[in-house]
Amino acid sequence: MEALRSQLTNPMGRSASIALVVLLHVVIIYALVTGLARRMVEVVRHPMETKIIEEAKPVAPDVPPPAPLPTPKFEVPPPPYVPPPEIQIQHPPPLQPPIVNTTPVKPAAPPPVARAAEAPPHAPVHTAPVIDATRCEKPEYPAAARRFRESGTVVLRILVGIDGSVISSEVQTSSGSKRLDEAAREGLSLCRFKPGMVDGKPEQAWSTLRYAWKLEE
């Protein structure tokens, strides 16, 4: 008691006592809290059993299905009997063929048919084109051929159209100078000639033309 009194009267002892009391309360509160929490966890840990109660359905008594109704049978009455009409057909008496005295006559032979003499096939009549160089403008004498004193006669093959114009031309026989041959072909291709004819109608045809190159003194 003396010791307790001394502690109570001593400020330091009083503070230690208060701290000890507080610590004791904290320990008690902690023990209570942890114990209750553990018990709650254990209660929750236990499995919960649930049962589903199904509602009992009333059982219907076994009733046999109704028997099918018999199908009515309809009988078709037979058609009324109608006797066929009596028809009497009168056949005419057979006709006797008339008796005719006939004499067989030999048919006359047909007269001979006169055959016309077949005419020979018509051969078309062709007329060659008329090419006259005197009616055309004379081709210009090439300056090089004149300088080298070239001359000669060239034969041209010319295709004349149905309107008389020259469609094509080519050298058939050379004059000996290519310059003179080409000058004659180009110059005479600008002319117009009389076209060839077949049965009186113009046709496209080939013809030849001779042209002489001569140097004038």
- Please state, rounded to an integer, the average pLDDT across all residues of the chain: 76
* pLDDT given at position 204: 93
* pLDDT given at position 25: 81
* pLDDT given at position 4: 47
Q: Which helix (H) or strand (E) holds 206?
A: strand 205-213
Q: Using the 8-state DSSP alphabet, how is residue 148 labeled?
A: T
Confidence of residue 193 (pLDDT cuts 50, 70, 90): very high
Torsion on CA atoms 12, 18, 22, 23, rounded to nearest 10: 40
Confidence of residue 176 (pLDDT cuts 50, 70, 90): very high
Contact 213, 175 (CB under 8 A): yes
Structure tokens at 139: 């081709």
Nearest to 193 by CA among 130, 119, 113: 130
d(CA 96, CA 90): 18
Torsion on CA atoms 12, 18, 20, 23, rounded to nearest 10: -140
Q: What is the pLDDT of residues 10-42, one digit of tens each?
A: 556 667 778 888 888 888 887 777 765 565 545
* pLDDT given at position 195: 93
Matching residue, tokens 């001593």: 10
Of 41-50, 75-84, 152-161, 206-215, minimum mean pLDDT range: 41-50
What pTM was estimated for this model as a whole? 0.43
Angle at 69 between CA 63 and CA 75, to 5 degrees: 170
Q: What is the pLDDT of residues 50-100, one digit of tens each?
A: 555 555 555 555 666 666 666 666 566 677 766 666 666 666 666 666 565
Top-ranked range on mean pLDDT: pick from 32-36, 75-79, 129-133, 138-142: 138-142
Q: Where are the beta strands (DSSP E) in 161-204?
A: 166-173, 196-198, 201-203
Which amino acid, residue 110?
Answer: P
d(CA 46, CA 40): 10
192: left (phi over 0), alpha (psi -120 to 50) or beta: beta
Structure tokens at 114: 């006169």
Contact 173, 154 (CB under 8 A): yes
In the chain, what is the greatest distance between 2 CA atoms, to the nearest angstrom?
A: 199
Strands 201-203 and 196-198: antiparallel
Q: How far is CA 121 from the centre of its chain?
A: 53
d(CA 172, CA 174): 7
